[in-house]
Amino acid sequence: MSDIATAPTGSTTAGPGPVSTADTALVRRRIRRWLWLFIVCLALSGLTAFPLQTETALLVRAMNRSGLGDALPALDAWVSRVGDGVADGYGRHPFLAYGTDWLAFAHLVIAVAFWGPLRDPVRNVWVIRWAMIACGGVIPLALICGPLRGIPLFWQFVDMSFGVFGVVPLLIVHRLIRALEWDQAVRTHHDFARVVPSP
């Protein structure tokens, strides 16, 4: 029997494509690489929420020194406003930073959830699907809450880009997992057919 997983004769179920035994390990490595990329980016985006006051101050100085503010006055005005707001808010009310601390923690906790797909991607494919839904939810959140909070439209697009770019590795991983899932299903069918002969 061939090592290539193909649909049984007469089957109406279409799979995402055959995966050979030799290719299965390669597919798993690709899944892990894309997942690690997503995990690292997610963790970094969370960690950057801890030193928010320092980061906004550095960003304001970078805009002033680079001259980028002259070319992009709207961006310069927004960065300066955010820098002033964070410095004023955190200076007078340092407990406000506690909210962004929890935001950072949430990112790290979500990153830990991907340990399941790293170990067993087929069984934990639901984590990938849940993450894709979360990426999709970024767009309506930005469009609804952005205007309510006085966020400029161009910055709403920056926020939405996290969901748009974040879903790309997840879609790739999901497709690879579907290939593994199809391969396992076909192999199970073949193994069962060997042990239990047809009447």
- pLDDT exceeds cutoff 70 at 2: no
pLDDT digits (tens, 9 = 90+) for 37-88: 999 999 999 999 999 999 999 999 999 899 888 889 999 999 999 999 999 9
pLDDT reported for residue 183: 81
- Domain ranges for the chain: 27-186
Smallest CA-to-CA distance from 51 within 103, 92, 93 is with 103
**CB-based burial, 25-48: b 16+ in 10 Å, e otherwise:** eebbeebbebbeebbebbbebbee
Is 55 exposed, middle or buried (CB count within 10 Å of its CB: 0-12, 13-18, 19+)? middle
pLDDT of res. 111: 97
Q: How far apart are CA 165 and CA 183, in angstroms?
A: 29
